């Protein structure tokens, strides 16, 4: 991503018309590198991050920036909302910040330690969007395996079509149990003509 241009993992490029007053939701904000790019264009960013170590940096980074609202919670679909175990990366004890990006609520992810976890609150994003009642320009979802459930719920609730750009990183390569469900999701996106959902986030 350079300025307002997204360069995705498949080489696609998107020029986004982000301006002051737009709202962006960053699900899995980590230490805020992506949130910083969006806010620098004038957008207001709601940055969700459940990992304690990453959130400390995120919050400090934007403490004096009114355009970034940091929320120490994860996001999920309807069934996964509430208090959940967030399994930490298998190398988390070596460097909690560097390996904070691998945390997942799915213990089947092949690079997490199922015996090393913290309890976190997961927000039902569908409910949040209904209560927020503002137009969202961009929804970025990088939530380490929980995106399949979330996207299906967003489509089921009629919320996905209201957002011009939805960028998602899928994790079926690291979570074998998600491979079939991810393929089904891809077929649904194509069949139902969701041209605003891109699964090639960096």
In tens, the pLDDT along 43-98 reads 999 999 999 999 999 999 999 999 999 999 999 999 999 999 999 999 999 999 99
pLDDT in the model for residue 18: 85
pLDDT in the model for residue 7: 67
Fold of 5-198: Rossmann fold (3.40.50)
- Count CA atoms closer than 13 A to 152's CA, side-chain side: 16
pLDDT, tens digit, 9 for 90 and up, residues 125-156: 999 999 998 999 999 999 999 999 999 999 99
Give the domain ranges of the chain: 5-198
Rounded CA-CA distance 141/34 in Å is 11
In 3D space, the residue among 61, 66, 64, 60 whose CA is nearest the CA of residue 46 turns out to be 66
Whether the pLDDT of residue 6 is over 70: the answer is: no
pLDDT, tens digit, 9 for 90 and up, residues 165-174: 999 999 999 9
- pLDDT > 90: percent of the chain: 85
**Sheet of strand 23-27: strand arrangement:** 68-71, 44-48, 23-27, 138-141, 165-168, 197-198
Question: Could you count the other beta carbons within 10 Å of the beta carbon of residue 37?
Answer: 18
Residue that the structure tokens 């400390």 belong to:
56
Q: What pTM was estimated for this model as a whole?
A: 0.93
């Amino acid at each position: 991503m350079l300025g307002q241009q997204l360069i995705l993992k498949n080489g696609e490029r998107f020029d986004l018309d982000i301006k002051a007053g737009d709202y962006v939701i960053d699900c899995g904000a980590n230490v805020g590198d992506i949130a910083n790019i969006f806010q620098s264009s004038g957008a207001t960013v709601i940055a969700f991050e459940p990992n304690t170590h990453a959130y400390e940096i995120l919050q400090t980074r934007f403490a004096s920036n009114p355009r970034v609202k940091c929320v120490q919670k994860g996001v999920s679909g309807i069934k996964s909302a509430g208090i959940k175990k967030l399994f930490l990366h298998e190398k988390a004890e070596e460097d909690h910040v560097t390996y904070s990006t691998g945390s997942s609520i799915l213990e089947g992810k092949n690079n997490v330690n199922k015996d090393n976890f913290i309890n976190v609150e997961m927000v039902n994003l569908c409910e949040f969007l209904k209560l927020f009642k503002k137009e969202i320009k961009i929804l970025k979802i990088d939530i380490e395996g929980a995106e399949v459930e979330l996207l299906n719920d967003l489509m089921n609730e009629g919320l996905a079509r209201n957002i011009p750009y939805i960028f998602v990183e899928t994790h079926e390569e690291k979570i074998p149990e998600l491979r079939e469900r991810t393929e089904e999701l891809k077929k649904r996106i194509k069949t139902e003509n969701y041209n605003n959902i891109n699964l090639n986030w960096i």
